[in-house]
Amino acid sequence: MTNLFSPVTLRGLTLRNRTVVAPMCQYSAQDGFANDWHFVHLGRFGIGGFGLVILEATGVLPEGRISYGDLGLWKDEHIAPLARILDFLHSQGAAAGIQLAHAGRKASTPIPWRNGFDETEEEKPLVGFEHWQPVGPSAVSHAPGNPHFQTPVALDKAGIHNVIDAFVAAARRADQAGFDTVEIHAAHGYLLNQFLSPLANQRTDEYGGSLENRIRLVLEVTEAVRAVWPEHKPLLARLSVSDWAEGGWTVEDSVVLARELKARGVDAIDCSSGGFAEAKIQSGPGYQVPFSRAVKQGADIPTMAVGLLGDPQEAEQIIAGGDADFVALARAALDDPNWAVHARHALGASDYDLWPNQAKRVRERDRSLGLRSFAAST
């Protein structure tokens, strides 16, 4: 058995393999509700053999959405359509997670494939258009020269406590829906990441200034969520391990934070990076794997590698070499929803056990064409 396709257990959850579908915003919801697009988009990854499918950044408050098209979990009515998706993923052998998020000052931005806020008055009710005032740690815009980013209202103490309460309530709903894990989103320049980074946090109270103060909100959210999230279910956190910017959050800061998160019941760190306008990211295949390695070794906690991954041999080596415990794909999974079953063959599997029964005719196709395990030896 390969390392990538070996089972792994976090608390009471055993995943069939270490392949993960990373959260991907679809900008296709109305009033936060999942619909048929989300069902089909996510369900195909269960069919495709992935071990864990994590749903997109999901607003814990309506004003915490990146756009009006984001999923939400701020009211009980959101539970049922999500549960329908989970039931299908579970029927295919995949575990399901959800990324709980608040966009902070990066909220209420346009749908990416539109030309800014170009919705006509006739179109707005059809697409569920909404626009609102964002909040943040400080009254500083994400990108002052970009009209799509507003100057946020700085959260006061009551607003901060409201955010914590919203994460807790969303976690309770996630459990009711049947999710196997939740991921606290503290990456990509969104609210919790904004509190962490000096690039966005200019506060002078107990939530700003020193590293101890800047990590306070993330730790308070984590403690509160862990207190209501079932003991047998793992809790994940996503970090931007580096801001890729002078004067910003660093790898060393992430190691410190990861140790504190582990002490508060976080079971694995999803290691991403960037998210601020000042970032100068040097991207390429596997460019974030060193971040995963640094956090895993420095904090002695399981990690998830993510970012321009997709080569099966590389994914196998990431696990075998101890750089991460999980390999997460986003765009590569969009390109090939069956990546997991294909990767398993690429790593030498001769059986078709990971394919669902309805798709096992692929084996007969491969036999007829001499593909995969039926290829002639040379």
List, by residue number, the catalytic residues.
190
Give the whole-angstrom CA distance, residue 213 versus residue 151.
23
**Owner of token pair 């393999």:** 17
3-class secondary structure, 33 = strand
Give the whole-angstrom CA distance, residue 84 versus residue 58.
16
Closest to 153 measured CA to CA, from 205, 82, 101, 105: 105
Give the whole-angstrom CA distance, residue 327 versus residue 266.
18
Helix axes 312-320, 339-346, angle to 10 degrees: 80
Give the whole-angstrom CA distance, residue 5 versus residue 185.
26
327 φ/ψ sector (left φ>0, alpha ψ -120 to 50, else beta)? beta
DSSP states along 228-252: HS-TTS-EEEEEES---STTS--HH
Give the whole-angstrom CA distance, residue 232 versus residue 45.
24
Contact 224, 184 (CB under 8 A): no
> Rounded to the nearest 10 degrees, how much is the dihedral formed by the CA atoms of 112, 116, 119, 125?
50
Alpha helix stretches (DSSP H) within 48-117: 79-91
Amino acid present at 272: S
As a 3-state breakdown, the chain gives helix, strand, coil percent values, each rounded to 5, of 40, 15, 45
Give the whole-angstrom CA distance, residue 328 versus residue 339.
11
Closest to 237 measured CA to CA, from 228, 226, 245, 250: 226
Helix axes 216-228, 251-263, angle to 10 degrees: 30
**R_g over Cα of the chain:** 21
